[in-house]
Amino acid sequence: MKRLSAIDLQERLRSPEASVICVTRRRAPSVDDVVRRLEAACGRVGLDLFTIDGDDSETAVLLPDLGVVAVPTVLVVSSGVLLERVCAVRDGVDARRLVALAAAGRTTPPMGAPSTTPRTTPPRTTPPGTTPPTDSGSPAGG
Amino acid sequence: MSSPPTPLSPTPAVSRDVADAMTDALTIPDAVGENVIGRARAAAAAVDVVVNDARASIAGWDNLAWVNAFAAAAERARDVLRTSTHPVERRLVAARLLRLMPVALLPADQVHRTVTLSLPDAVMARADNDFALGRGDVPRVHPSWTAFLTNPTALHDVLRPGRHEWLLAPRSFSPKDAAGTAMLVRVVGMSGIAGSPSELAQLEIKNPGGHTSRRRRTSDGKDAGPAELRTDVLVSWLRHGGPGARGLDLRRADDRCLLLTFHETMRERRLDVLLARPAGDDGERRAAIISAVVDAAADAVAFAALDPLACRFVFPGDERHQSWVQPAITRLTGLGLGAEIMPLSAAGPTREFVWLDAVVDSGFVGGAMSDVAQARAFARLAVSVLAPLGALPLGGARCGRGVVLTLLEDDARGPRQRGPWWVEPAGMTTVMPLSEAWARGHGRLLPLPHTDTAHDVAALPAFLQAFADAIAGPDDDDDVAGDVDTDGDGDAELAEADAELVAGDDGVDVPNSDPANADTLPPTETP
């Protein structure tokens, strides 16, 4: 876990690397829970967890631009794009989902990529309850 | 030698008896098992008992009683959720719990918003087969709606004076007039060789206060010369898709459900009928229809998903309320569903409790989506479905909660541009002019079009056709306009849909008495 200053945060937001950043506050049990879960999830995939102090006057100036309204808030950033911003991490599974989002942000497919095309069911060519025609009688089928 | 065995077949009398028995025996199921929707409704019914009792008996002012009722329903829901595995089941249970949220304890910016978790019934019915797509699940678009985009000079044509509303330009052009990283300009004249990189546009600058000028200004307000900018800079902003822009990934159930919800919203508003017919020459009518499609896309996200922060409990923190606030918070935290959060900066001390994401799953199918996730879902939908209609999205704003949309359209004089708009599905107003969003403090930090993905405008119509064909199947080569009117009353349906649109039911302001609209409508009566 690394604590970021205001300047570090600016650089981290511009960095092409994916980052998980948690806005924290001292002596807050709910913050400690979230940080602990995120730290474990980040450790599994080799990502660093960054924290910023929401009560620090220098970083607090930047937080409205990032849409942060409460503590704790988890920001997932990749290549300067905010991928997710959540206030609660309910368990380890939720933490791993957020961290996976950051990891996936490093391999975003290009716009309009053909990943949008695969169909999940074969096209229905006959009404339900009827037998589909076979090609045994067609000239091509011999 | 023995005779061959006789096939076993019941005698006619036995067959008749069995048929009669099956008719009378109500316990014989005609379905293999209970489907997801059936289970979801049963789960919700378990919570309904508490919800209906509470709504019938608790006074509106009694916040503590509402919180206790919420906790009682949540306890009942927790028992149900232990056995509910499908996100749709959890979504229906959470929708019941939302009915117990007292308005007085909602966040101040959400009290006037209807918070729901509604998914169209036709889409929920697809939960059984994991929202699989098939023929007819993508709105069919007549080629006349998109043909003008294939014109290679379309983007330069919209830069001509009078052919656009406002265009985006970088902050460095006139820092004093910028809002964040960008600003709004309008072309009032052109000089240089048309279409060449050296072509210059004389601009009118709109500053955040709404005033216009034709002089650039430095950040300290000094004059920096006439407002002139190369046209290729303006074109690059039009084509700008934002960093990492991508379309729907239909391998994911979330995106399939999103596409189905959008299509169902279009159907409910009769927009699919309008898009399947020729666009006509009336530019105002075309723009109104495309604007309505944009609204439908934003609403498809906004009504089906909910930001957990938008439905959190916000308790007053001052001393005179502690007599009921403290028991209420103790009751909620004792549930084990949700967590208390602390506001970063508030006018007074408050305590807040977030619960939705502890009940439902994240994502579009689950229903819990942050404002960032909703904006990203809309952006994916826009890249795949709206951009080929000329509504070009620009995502990747620093705040993450919205998408900039610029509309290219066609009329009798050629291509033109409208907007830009700020689309924020999780906001109170889903679509608003970008200047208005800037005034509210949203969308100020837009990405600059240096190295990001750009829309290939000329290829968008072909992309839309390929997208629809891929979902419909390789053997779907029917005529786009021809396979819509299956019941033979397509003209009447079109006229009805158009009349509703003109009447402004979709929030689109179209002059009702515009005679030009009548020219494009099909005849509804035979003389």
The pLDDT tens digits of the residues spanning A73-111 come to: 999 988 778 899 998 888 888 899 899 888 775 544 434
**Gap between the terminal Cα atoms of chain A:** 70
The lowest-confidence range among A70-79, B7-16, B461-470 is B7-16
pLDDT for position B300 = 92
Contacts B244 to A, Cβ<8 Å: 78-79, 81, 105, 108
Rounded-to-integer distance, Cα B433 and Cα B413, Å: 24
In a domain? residue B479? no
Token look-up 């008495």 returns B513
Residue ranges making up the domain that contains A82: 2-106
The predicted pLDDT at position B16 comes to: 64
What 8-state DSSP symbol labels residue A123? P
Total CB pairs under 8 A between chain A and B: 155
Per DSSP, B505 falls in state T
Residue predicted with more confidence, A115 or B77: B77
User: Of A101, A95, A111, nearest to A76 (Cα)?
Assistant: A101
Q: What residues does A75 pair with on adjacent strands? A: A21, A85
Given a contact cutoff of 8 angstroms between Cβ atoms, the answer to whether A101 and A84 are in contact is yes
Q: How many CB atoms lie within 10 A of CB B295?
A: 20
Strand-pair category, A81-86 with B313-316: unpaired
pLDDT of the residue at B493: 52
pLDDT at position A113 over 70: no
Could you tell me the pLDDT band of residue B97, with boundaries at 50, 70 and 90? confident
The lowest-confidence range among A12-21, A123-132, B215-224, B451-460 is: A123-132
CB B43 within 8 A of CB B89: yes
Using alpha carbons, select from B402, B272, B151 the residue that is nearest to residue A85: B402
Q: Tell me: pLDDT of B478 over 50.
A: no
Q: Lowest-pLDDT range, B229-238, B337-346, B359-368, B512-521?
A: B512-521
Report the residue from A33, A79, A87 with minimal CB separation from B243. Answer: A79
pLDDT at B301 over 60: yes
Distances (CA, A) of B403 to B132, B397, B425, B504: 28, 7, 9, 24
Provide mean pLDDT across the span A51-70: 87
Cα–Cα distance for residue pair B173/B205, rounded to 1 Å: 10
State yes or no: cis peptide before B278, omega within 30 of 0: no
Helix (H) or strand (E) holding B54: helix B36-57
Provide the sign of the torsion angle of the four alpha carbons B314, B319, B321, B327, taken in this order: positive
How far is it, in rounded angstroms, from Cα A52 to Cα A40? Answer: 18
Q: How confident is the model at residue A118 (pLDDT cuts 50, 70, 90)?
A: very low
What are the tens digits of pLDDT across the range A2-42? Answer: 898 889 888 888 888 888 999 998 887 888 889 999 999 99
Question: Which whole number is the average pLDDT over B211-236?
Answer: 89
Residue B55: the pLDDT is: 78
* Average pLDDT of the residues in B113-141: 82
Q: What is the distance between the alpha carbons of residues B326 and B345, in angstroms, rounded to a whole number?
A: 21
At B14 the pLDDT is: 57
Residues of B within 8 A of A86 (CB-CB) are 308, 357, 370
Query: How distant, in Å, are the alpha carbons of A80, B207, B444 from that of B439?
Result: 23, 11, 9
Examine residue A43 and state whether it is found in any structural domain, yes or no.
yes
Query: Closest Cα partner for B131 from B246, B37, B1, B266?
Result: B37
What is the mean predicted confidence (pLDDT) over B84-112? 82
User: What H or E segment, with its residue span, contains residue A20?
Assistant: strand A19-24
Global pTM reads 0.80
CB atoms within 10 A of CB B317: 15
Mutation to test the B interface, candidates A10, A93, A116, most B Cβ within 10 Å = A116
Name the more confident of B15 and B81. B81
Look at B244 and A7; give whichever has higher pLDDT: A7
Cβ pair B244:A108 closer than 8 A: yes
Q: Please give the pLDDT value at position B62.
A: 82
Contact A63 B398 (CB under 8 A): no
- Two structure tokens written together for B229: 């900018």
pLDDT of residue B165 exceeding 90, the answer is: yes
Whether the pLDDT of residue B296 is over 90: the answer is yes
Q: Is the pLDDT confidence value at B431 over 80? A: yes
CA–CA separation, A110 vs A100, rounded Å?
19
| CB atoms B371 and A85 under 8 Å | yes
Q: Do B249 and A115 touch (CB under 8 A)?
A: yes
Q: Does the residue B76 lie in any domain?
A: yes
Nearest-neighbour CA in chain B from A92: distance (Å): 12
Q: What domain count does chain B have?
A: 1
pLDDT band at B34 (very low <50, low <70, confident <90, very high): low
Contact B473 A123 (CB under 8 A): yes
Confidence of residue B420 (pLDDT cuts 50, 70, 90): very high
**Is 80 exceeded by the pLDDT of residue A67?**
yes
Is beta strand A49-53 parallel, antiparallel or unpaired with respect to A19-24?
parallel
Q: Which of residues 418-457 of B touch A (CB under 8 A)?
A: 441, 444-445, 447, 453, 455-456
CB atoms < 10 A from the CB of B25, how many? Answer: 8
Residue B136's closest chain A neighbor by CA?
A123
Higher-pLDDT residue of A51 and A13 is A51
Instruction: Take residue A22 and report the two structure tokens written for it.
Output: 């948690």
Bigger pLDDT: A133 or B139?
Answer: B139
Number of domains in chain A: 1
Q: Is residue B167 part of a domain?
A: no
Residue range(s) defining the domain that contains residue B82: 54-106+313-354
Chain A residue with the nearest C-alpha to that of B245:
A111
The answer to whether position B493 is within a domain reads: no
3-state secondary structure of B184: strand
- Position B499 scores a pLDDT of 54
Average pLDDT over residues B263-281: 89
State both tokens at B160: 């001509």
Which residues have CB under 8 Å from B147's CB, separation 6+? B410, B461
Chain B nearest CA to A84, separation (Å): 6
On whether residue B83 sits in a domain, the answer given is yes
Q: Confirm or reject contact between B410 and chain A (CB < 8 A).
A: no
- Taking a C-beta distance cutoff of 8 angstroms, is the pair A75, B356 a contact? no
Is the CB of residue B373 less than 8 Å away from at least one CB of chain A? yes
Cβ(B128)–Cβ(B100) under 8 Å?
A: no
pLDDT for B486 beyond 50: no
Gap between the Cα atoms of B43 and B53, Å rounded: 17
Contact predicate B341/A29, CB 8 Å: no
pLDDT of amino acid B518: 32
> Is residue A18 a part of any domain in this protein?
yes
So what's the pLDDT on residue A105?
58
Average pLDDT, chain B: 79
Does A106 or A71 have the greater pLDDT score? Answer: A71
User: Running DSSP on this structure, what letter comes out for residue B510?
Assistant: -
| Domain presence at residue B72 | yes
Query: Which residue would you say has higher pLDDT here, B6 or B438?
Result: B438
Look at residues B209, B133, B143 and name the one whose alpha carbon lies nearest to residue B471. Answer: B133
Once rounded to an integer, what is the mean pLDDT over residues B228-255? 88
Host H or E run for residue B469 = helix B460-472
At position B358, the amino acid (one-letter code) is A
Between B87 and B489, the more confident residue is: B87
Q: Is residue B68 part of a domain?
A: yes
Tokens standing for residue B334: 């004792």
Q: Give me the sign of the Cα torsion angle B295, B300, B302, B303.
A: positive
Asked if pLDDT for residue A131 goes beyond 70, the answer is no
- Gap from B525 CA to chain A (nearest CA, Å): 34
Q: Report how far residue B476's alpha carbon sits from residue A125's, in angstroms, rounded to the nearest whole number.
A: 10
pLDDT winner (highest mean) among A7-16, B51-60, B469-478: A7-16
How far is B273 from B266, CA to CA, in rounded Å? 9
Which residue from B minimizes the CA distance to A80?
Answer: B398
> Beta strand B339-343 with B313-316: parallel, antiparallel or unpaired?
unpaired
Residue A126: the pLDDT is 34
Give residue A104's identity as a one-letter amino acid code. Answer: A
Interface test mutation site (partner A, options B239, B258, B309, max chain A beta carbons within 10 A): B309
Kindly list the distances between the CA atom of residue B331 and the CA atoms of A44, B41, B71, B128, B471, in Å, as whole numbers in the listed order: 35, 27, 7, 36, 49
**B473 lies within 8 A of chain A by CB:** yes
Residue of A75, A96, A119, A135 to mutate, testing the B interface (most B Cβ within 10 Å of its Cβ): A119
Answer yes or no: is B62 within a domain.
Answer: yes
The closest of B181, B83, B254 to B447, measured between CA atoms, is B181
What does the pLDDT look like over B180-213, one tens digit per residue? 899 999 999 988 877 777 788 899 999 888 888 8
What residues contact residue B102 under an 8 Å CB cut-off, 6+ apart? B60, B63, B66, B67
Amino acid at B397: A
Can you tell me the ipTM of this complex?
0.75
Given a cut of 60, is residue B477 above it in pLDDT?
Answer: no
With a cut of 70, say whether residue B494 has pLDDT above it.
no
pLDDT given for residue B513 in this prediction: 33
Per-residue pLDDT, averaged over B368-375, amounts to: 92
Chain B residues closer than 8 Å to A69 by CB: 309, 343-344
> With an 8 Å Cβ cutoff, are B308 and A86 in contact?
yes
Residues in Cβ contact with A18 at an 8 Å cutoff, skipping those fewer than 6 apart? A47, A76, A77, A78, A79, A102, A103, A105, A106
CATH number at residue A91: 3.40.30.10
Contacts of A78 in chain B (CB under 8 A): 244
The mean pLDDT value of chain A amounts to 74
Angle between helices B371-381 and B283-304 (to 10 degrees): 140
Token couple for A44: 């599994």
Q: Give me the helix-helix angle, B253-268 and B283-304, nearest 10°.
A: 130
Residue B125, Cβ density class (10 Å: 0-12 exposed, 13-18 middle, ≥19 buried): middle
- Does the structure show a pLDDT above 80 at B5? no
